[in-house]
Structure 1
Amino acid sequence: MKRTTVKIPDALDARLRHEAERRGVTISELTREALETFLGTSGPRRELGAAAAGRSGRSDVSERIEQILAAEVPR
């Protein structure tokens, strides 16, 4: 595992430390999780088309959400 130093603002550091303590994990674990979530295993995350479903003009989105998500997220 490689060590990396990152400079962050004091307010962000405080939020990071608070969240790590709240979850009962180390700052390193939380930072790795956040980076993995942001970058993913295969690069930057893509936006889901279903994320804008609330503005679709369709009235059946809540009934079709599983179908919409299945079409957007590869298995």
Structure 2
Amino acid sequence: MLAYMARTTVKISDQLDARLRHEAARRGITVSELTREAIEAHLGGTPRRLMSVGAGRSGRSDISERIEEILRDEMGMNS
């Protein structure tokens, strides 16, 4: 990042630290990035990244109309 960043120290419990590190690792980002996102979201700053946006997108618009047919096909219950 090219912009100057101030360094801040925050004291948190061991339990919160473990949760923070686990979530950062799960998302593949640094603890600093996750902390900045959380602070920005809490203070109403830059919108946070939504990691799941579009995760279930199939590219089809008729899924809800065909759900029974799709489930039958998936379960091998073609009639």
- With structure 1 as the length reference, what TM-score do the two structures score? 0.54
Q: Report the aligned-residue RMSD.
A: 0.5
Structure showing greater relative contact order (alpha-carbon pairs closer than 8 Å, 6 or more residues apart): 1
Runs of 4+ in 1 over 2 A off after TM superposition: none
Aligned length: 41
Q: Larger Rg: 1 or 2?
A: 2
Per-residue displacement from partner, 1:19-74 (whole Å, max 9, x unpaired)?
A: 00000000000000000000012xxxxxxxxxxxxxxxxxxxxxxxxxxxxxxxxx
- 1:63: which partner in 2? none
In the alignment, which residue of structure 2 is the partner of 1:4? Answer: 8
Identity of aligned pairs, percent?
A: 76
Structure showing the higher helix proportion among its residues: 1
Match of 2:17 in 1: 13
Question: Structure 1: 5+ residue runs without aligned partners?
Answer: 42-75
Segments of 5+ residues of structure 2 without an aligned counterpart are 46-79
Normalised to the residue count of structure 2, the TM-score between the two structures is 0.51
